[in-house]
Amino acid sequence: MHVPDGVLPLWLQILMLIVSGAFLIFSLIMINKKLDERVVPYIGVLAAVIFAAQFVNFPVPPYSSGHLIGATLLAMMVGPWVGIIIIALVLFIQALYGDGGLLMYGLNLFNMGVFSCLFAWTLGVLIFKTARKKLSEKSALLLSAAITSYIVTVAAAFVLGLELMTEPAFGFTALVAITSIHSIIAIGEAILTVVILEYFVRAKPTLIALLKGSKTRDAADVPIKPLSIDSVQEG
Amino acid sequence: MMRREDIVKFVVPTIVIIVVILSIVILGGLASSNPDGFEWAFFEFANVSEPESGFEGMWAFLGEGPMVELFTGVIGVLLVFVLGLILFKATARKE
């Protein structure tokens, strides 16, 4: 899903750099308020895991390939704000490696980081809380990770397809193609997410924001109150 | 800062596991060289011509091959780990 330079109009590249830049600054503010310094080395490890997992492609029959994005894994483990920063770091190194354009950095960060992490957190929490009523906490976590990572990957590809339609050369066919191929890649994303999450559940469950007693739970808090009838009446 | 015991028990083994898995996958030829989802969808399925990129990456001068891929992959893993430590250490809440 790494878009190279020269594919999309300059105005969109600049717009996405500004949007992603604003989210990066907000994420850093949130981290500064909430992330405990003691979990920093674990988060460094997690960033290394994401880079390695994005470095190698798995085959997608018959002619394509895919790799882990990792947004759902990060959102569920350390929350969306830390997740956005980790994806930003990984994409920056990848851009220096020639994978994904330097000017496209903002757009790639928006699709794989900002949109994916925030959507994954919202959807993941919803599914996790629902599944927890019937299953154990760890089973609910793995189930919600599998479902969320599949949906988020397809949704991110759809968003990319919409962005690409700003270029007249790319039509509806391209949108369908990129969404369709990612509906297969998303199966790999779901499997890898569950496998890596399972490792962390066994090795360091206190790192996982969604689980009770997590050291990263504070950092995962999203300061957005759901709109309720009470809040409307108060307004 | 975290305890030395945690670093020895978790951080170092995980980094070693990452490097070992990466080595097995790359040197064993297990990674797919097919075009990724984006490339396939656009440059092949939708028949869009691939743009010429001006920047081939900071390791382009090393050429191609499994050993180069492994070297750059391991450097990348360590680079992301160290940069992550520096960045999050600088921005995290101090106790």
pLDDT at residue B92 tops 90: no
Q: Which residues pair with A68 in a beta bridge?
A: none
More confident call, A73 vs A223: A73
- Do B76 and A93 lie within an 8 Å CB cutoff? yes
CB contact under 8 A, B2 and A38: yes
- Closest partner residue to B55 (CB to CB) among A45, A47, A102 is A102
Does the distance separating the beta carbons of B94 and A65 come in below 8 Å?
no
Report pLDDT for A171: 79
For chains A and B, count residue pairs whose Cβ atoms are closer than 8 Å: 206
The pTM score is 0.90
Per-residue pLDDT reduced to its tens digit, A97-156: 999 889 999 999 999 999 999 999 999 999 999 999 999 999 999 999 999 999 999 999
Q: What is the pLDDT of residue A230?
A: 46
A65 membership: H or E segment, kind and range: strand A64-66
Sorted by where each begins, the domain ranges of chain A are 10-234
Which class in CATH covers the domain with range A10-234?
Answer: mainly alpha
Say if the Cβ atoms of B81 and A3 lie within 8 Å.
no
Tokens 């492609």, residue located: A57
Q: What is the pLDDT of residue B15?
A: 94
pLDDT at B2: 60
Task: With CA atoms as reference, report the closest residue to B26 among A94, A55, A50.
Answer: A55
- Percent of chain A's residues with pLDDT above 70: 90
Q: In whole angstroms, what is the distance from residue B68 CA to residue B62 CA?
A: 7
Compute the mean pLDDT over every residue in chain A, rounded to the nearest whole number.
88
Q: Which residue has the higher pLDDT, B17 or A169?
A: B17
Nearest of A57, A58, A60, A90 to residue A73 by alpha carbon: A90
Report residue A32's pLDDT band, with 50, 70 and 90 as the boundaries: confident
Query: Mind listing the pLDDT tens digit for each residue in A35-48?
Result: 888 888 889 999 99
